[in-house]
Structure 1
């Protein structure tokens, strides 16, 4: 199911993901933690593993001055591991030196079971963009 980002039209599992992402972008990792299971498995860009939303928040604080997500859509499907929700869109914000950026593609994959996020996988183009900023062709 392809669901628009209008919160009123989102399936419950996609709304949980949306609320998690909104809290993460404040950033408020403790509020974000209320949307995840106690044993959540988060795999962030580059294969970094975290067990709490504070992990990605801390990593992002080193990579960006600030960063937000423009959530274009949520794709939702039932699966044997629960409901799978993909959030697809772009990142925008500022690099540590204050240079603004936008249009940085991302895709996040979530597994939602019993009203909680149990697994999250994150991919985006930031590493490629950092290489380009360093004049290193990827």
Structure 2
């Protein structure tokens, strides 16, 4: 494993995220291994790159990522580069109310030049609960 391997994994993740946010499922699929595991917020398992934008269409009127940082390390046990992309989501809720500063963390395992697993976490569920008056936690 070399620094070039880590840099290439970060490039693959950035390209995948760009295609995914553009709702280009076929473009995103080029960066994914066959059988790639996709786990979204709440433990939702998805089967392909078209699923996250379809899920997001139910949760947001619009949503975009404002990347802040990408970190990557070689994981010897997994034989893959583990990549974390962090930042903030911004856009509009289904009722048209704008939002910004919604934190996200996306995890990727990149092996042999393809994403083999991705997991997504963000603050949306907590914010939606708070907006509905169902959260006791301060935001």
TM-score by length of 2: 0.89
Structure 1 distance, partners of 2:58, 2:128, is 13
- Please show how residues 1-138 of structure 1 align to structure 2 within 5 Å: 11-79=7-75, 80-81=77-78, 82-138=80-136
Q: Give CA-to-partner distance per residue, 1:92-135, whole Å, 9 cap, x none.
A: 11111111101000001100001110000110000001011112
Structure 1 distance, partners of 2:42, 2:117, is 16
* Structure 1 residue 28: Cα displacement: 1.3
TM-score by length of 1: 0.90
SS in 1 for 2:101: strand
Q: What's the C-alpha RMSD, in Å, of the aligned pairs?
A: 1.1
Of structures 1 and 2, the larger Rg is shown by 2
* Structure 1 residue 30: Cα displacement: 1.7
- Structure 1 residue runs of 5 or longer lacking an equivalent are 1-9
- Structure 2 residue runs of 5 or longer lacking an equivalent are 1-5
How many matched pairs? 129
Stretches (4+) displaced over 4 A: none
